[in-house]
Structure 1
Amino acid sequence: MSSVRFGMLKTLFILYMIGYSQANQACPASAIMASSSCPPTWIQSGGNCYKTTKPLTWFQAKEECAQMGGFMTAPHSKSDLQFLQTFEKYFWINCNDLQKEGEWECKDGTTVVNYLEWGKDQPSNNGGNENCAEARPSTQGWNDIPCNHLKPAVCKSAMPTLHL
């Protein structure tokens, strides 16, 4: 273990032992520093952590990501899509037209994403109930499918921060 990481852990332990850490205590900005790793079973890339879910409905996958402390992601670009497909080839993305048919809303957390990568003749709303989007290999583009299909999702979370 590096001496920096050991020093951080030692400081956290001491603060915990003297009762400094309180759930609702504000932490001054000067005392916040980024953690050097993601939670166990999450994969780090840049300043974010990623994890896939088991196959779930779109709504279940979105909730599962939230329960794990993240959100169902939506790609921002072709390179972002290719990165996400290193986790899964077919997966839910946080895009839907549940509010108004044909008006697709895509979000990466709370950020609206304007990048769309629909496959040929998609979105099609085949059968009248295809309101959620799945990413497929880039040669096939995205597809709209019923939200009750079972697919994994790629969850995304910012790197945790430590309050010292």
Structure 2
Amino acid sequence: MHILQLFTALVVGTSLGCTAASEASEVNTCTVMACGNPGLNGLPGRDGRDGAKGEKGDQGAGQKGQQGFPGKAGPPGLEGPMGTPGLVGHKGQKGETAATDTFQRQVQALENRFQALQAEFNSYKQAVLLQGLTVGQKTFISTHQHETFASGRARCAKAGAALPCPMNAAENAAVQELAKRGSKFAFLNINDIQTEGSFVCANGAAVRYTHWKKGEPNNYNGVEDCVIIIPENAQWNDFSCDQSGLIICEF
């Protein structure tokens, strides 16, 4: 009984409170609050429409970020107008003149080299001539070698010379002097290999001067086809071409 009276008083009090509040304001309403557990939240409503765009704000005071990678190159632009022509350069040297100057320098270098070689050759020539004897346009030089007629002739030819073929007494005396120095008879460039008894110089020239020893030439044993000069008396003697004799060269 006591509990029922308490519940009835609570309901009546609540109703009186709501009526008073309704009379004070027409807008506010009063809902009877029932006792019990709260209900579940409903689904969220739809987003509202975007509002008007606001004004641009001030630039921030933060540090500038790093520059990004460059983008792709754009299409080439239109060709610009031609620039102002530059000043005319100095006139160059003609090609032919330059080539001629180069050629002349090369020729001069060759001439200098030739003169140096010629001087060196003359020096050697003088040294060689001191060991030989000169008569007129001929110079006779001993090789100090003892060889056969064929070997000696080849040695002289390699030096641009030949075995001696005296054309007068003076040339014969010069050859004799070199033979005496070598203490050996020396081959002359005279033979009758082609025709027995017909002596000629090896170059085919006729022998215009002779100085045979008495009784010579005699072609002893039929093998004496070359000629030697005897150092003691400068006389000639026919001799075997295969024997060894002093080799003197005539330049």
Normalising to structure 1: TM-score of the pair? 0.67
Q: Counterpart in 2 of 1:133?
A: 227
Deviations 1:89-144 (A, max 9, x none): 3210011000011111125x675431011111100101001000001146472111
1:86 is displaced (CA, Å) by 1.5
Q: Counterpart in 1 of 2:243?
A: 149
What CA distance in whole angstroms lies between the structure 2 residues aligned with 1:44 and 1:139? 18
What CA distance in whole angstroms lies between the structure 2 residues aligned with 1:153 and 1:123? 21
User: Is residue 52 of structure 1 aligned with residue 142 of structure 2?
Assistant: yes
Alpha-carbon spacing, 1:114–1:136, altered in 2? closer, same or farther (3 Å) = same
Q: What code does the residue aligned with 2:164 have?
A: T
User: Is residue 100 of structure 1 aligned with residue 195 of structure 2?
Assistant: yes
Alpha-carbon spacing, 1:39–1:59, altered in 2? closer, same or farther (3 Å) = farther
Q: Which has the larger radius of gyration?
A: 2
Trace 1:1-164 onto structure 2 (pairs within 5 A): 18-20=109-111, 38=125, 40-42=127-129, 43=132, 45=134, 46-53=136-143, 54-89=145-180, 90-106=185-201, 111-137=205-231, 139=233, 141-157=235-251
1:37 is displaced (CA, Å) by 7.1
Deviations 1:62-99 (A, max 9, x none): 11111111111111122221122111132100110000
Instruction: Give percent identity, aligned residues only.
Output: 25
1:44 is displaced (CA, Å) by 5.5
Alpha-carbon spacing, 1:139–1:36, altered in 2? closer, same or farther (3 Å) = same
Q: Which structure: greater strand fraction?
A: 1
Q: What code does the residue aligned with 1:38 have?
A: K
- Which gives a bigger RCO, structure 1 or 2 (Cα 8 Å, sep 6+)? 1
What CA distance in whole angstroms lies between the structure 2 residues aligned with 1:114 and 1:15? 50
Is this contact kept in 2: 1:44–1:50, CA < 8 A?
Answer: yes
What CA distance in whole angstroms lies between the structure 1 residues aligned with 2:214 and 2:106? 57
Alpha-carbon spacing, 1:145–1:41, altered in 2? closer, same or farther (3 Å) = same
Deviations 1:19-44 (A, max 9, x none): 359xxxxxxxxxxxxx6872643435
Secondary structure of the residue aligned to 2:171 is helix
What CA distance in whole angstroms lies between the structure 2 residues aligned with 1:105 and 1:74? 9
Q: Which structure: greater helix fraction?
A: 2
1:18 is displaced (CA, Å) by 1.8
Q: How many residues align?
A: 132
Q: Provide the alpha-carbon RMSD of the alignment.
A: 3.2
What CA distance in whole angstroms lies between the structure 2 residues aligned with 1:59 and 1:76? 21
Q: What code does the residue aligned with 2:128 have?
A: T
Secondary structure of the residue aligned to 1:75 is coil
What CA distance in whole angstroms lies between the structure 1 residues aligned with 2:106 and 2:141? 30
Unmatched runs of 5 consecutive residues or more in structure 2 = 1-104, 113-121
What CA distance in whole angstroms lies between the structure 2 residues aligned with 1:134 and 1:72? 11
Q: What code does the residue aligned with 1:71 have?
A: A
Unmatched runs of 5 consecutive residues or more in structure 1 = 1-13, 22-34, 158-164
